[in-house]
Amino acid sequence: MSYHHLSMFDRARIQSLYTLGYSTRQIAIQTGRHHSSIARELVRNATTENVYLAEDAHQSYENRRTHSKPHGKYDKAIADVIEEKLRLTWSPEQIAQAATLGKVSFKTIYNWLYQGKFSLCEKVLRHKGSRRRPPEKRGKFAVGLSISDRPEEVEDRQIFGHWELDSMVSSRGKSKGCFATFIERKSRLYTALKMQDRSSDSMQKAIKYLCSVLPLKAFKTATTDRGKEFSCYKSVKEELGIDMYFADPYCSWQRGSNENSNGLLREFYPKKTDLSLVNEMELMHNLFLINSRPRKCLGWKSAIEVFLHEVSHLT
């Protein structure tokens, strides 16, 4: 049964009924409350003359709420045990299961550590706190369709024409030049287009260009991360009729094909490469090398072979 605090209206009804001589059980029936709640309210706020004033009672309630603070799960005795085990190189998950017997979860231990509730810092952890999710610095926007709304046909890779999108940047602070990268999920055909910067306008132009060179119905949906360059999703939907689905934050595996292929392209253009200086013909040659390799997931066919086969069967 959910609990609801008494409102000013509730207290006004209690005052009226209490003044008329109703018992706590009778008041409870009239107000739809438990009789224990009515009894506690009267004991706490009725005066010695058995007078209950709704306004005074509600003011006292608001004062108590102002000064009330949740205590949480933190306990000095438990914290001492956790700190001792951290010094013995135990992981938070090991501590939660074996030392605290489930009284606190390993996530709570991580939070206490990051909040400075111990004399230790996150450096005591195996990964020195480096795996903590960093704050998003590229800005936020109201994303459109979530990846959870994506049709099942996209997930099982049985239907041609569903793409994953991303961007590949130069060394930060040195050049704005970058690539817009695309991979078709069924054939694994991978391509990249140069962009002058990582803006939504540049990304929209890249998407429009790719759609213009592809056959009709070869680009049905796109799955992207939540980078600011994809805030153009509304315009893409209006102009091209393409639905863009956004992966969950910090879930790069939801666009694994694109992430893996970006890694392959990085073999030709390592990090800190100024991508604005990349020759277009050289880029096309390197993409051909990637797409002409036989792939185990394609039955040792190349991405180009599968892509051309699928394009030839478009209706």
197, 177 contact by CB (below 8 A): yes
Between CA 71 and CA 243 the distance in angstroms is: 46
162, 147 contact by CB (below 8 A): no
Between CA 47 and CA 44 the distance in angstroms is: 9
Give strand pairing partners of 13. Answer: none
Residue 247 identity: A
Q: What burial class does residue 183 get, using C-beta atoms within 10 Å of its C-beta: 0-12 exposed, 13-18 middle, 19+ buried?
A: buried
Binned at pLDDT 50, 70 and 90, residue 136 comes out as low
Give strand pairing partners of 222. Answer: 163, 244
DSSP string computed for 109-135:
HHHHHHTT-SSS-GGGSTTTTTTSPPP
Share of the chain above pLDDT 90, in %: 53
More confident residue, 173 or 251: 251
245 secondary structure, DSSP code: E
Which among 123, 205, 216, 219 is positioned nearest to 167, based on CA atoms? 205
- Tens of pLDDT, residues 24-77: 999 999 988 999 999 999 988 887 777 898 888 888 888 888 777 666 777 888
Q: With H, G, I as helix, E, B as strand and everything else as coil, classify residue 11.
A: helix
pLDDT(250) > 90:
no
pLDDT(1) > 60:
no
Between CA 134 and CA 201 the distance in angstroms is: 26
Domain residue limits, the chain: 8-67, 76-124, 145-312
CATH code at 145-312: 3.30.420.10
Specify the pTM.
0.59
pLDDT(134) > 80:
no
